[in-house]
Amino acid sequence: MNIEEALKKLKKTEFKCEQCGGCCLACGYTLDLNPEETKKWKRSKELVFSNFGYYHLANFMDILPNKSADIWFHPQTGEELFRCPFLRKKGPTYRCLIYNNFRPHACRLYPIDQNTGEFIKVVSDFCPGVRRITTKK
């Protein structure tokens, strides 16, 4: 399924994000960038704010042999992170610090799996928005 088809499917689901942070906390460290996103992140000269301060996006990724990138590495030590470094708690909700310009496709399509076009299997465990949709049926 391509990105456009997945976005259309997502719009039809009536999913509404409740900004609980569950998706980013539970599976934010398992994301890969596709080759197109990898190029965009590598080329960016913009410094983005993270939980570690301001860095270039390339500091948070490891390029894989297939030209995609594994993401969420500490920008100074290179150690793998176990949650998204761009997730920020603000009051009772969370927000993404790279939401507008650099948010990965997998995040844009959440809760739809970008490869299968189906709901990600485990999300109802930690996502109230998906739970609301799936229990309506």
Tens of pLDDT, residues 52-91: 999 999 999 998 888 888 899 999 999 999 889 999 999 9
DSSP 37: H
Provide the pLDDT for residue 137: 54
Least confident of 2-6, 10-14, 16-20, 105-109: 2-6
pTM of the entire predicted model: 0.81
pLDDT given at position 102? 94
List pLDDT tens digits, range 14-31.
788 889 988 888 776 678
What pLDDT digit, counting tens, does each position of 32-51 carry? 898 999 999 999 999 999 99
Those residues with Cβ within 8 angstroms of residue 9's Cβ, 6 or more apart along the chain or in another chain: 1, 112, 117
What is the predicted pLDDT for the residue at 28? 64
Both tokens assigned to 116? 């299968």
Are 119 and 129 in contact by the 8 Å Cβ rule? The answer is: no
Helix extents (H) in the chain: 3-12, 22-27, 35-43, 105-109, 128-136
pLDDT digits (tens, 9 = 90+) for 113-130: 777 777 777 666 778 888
Domain coordinates in residue numbering, the chain:
3-136
pLDDT, position 43:
94
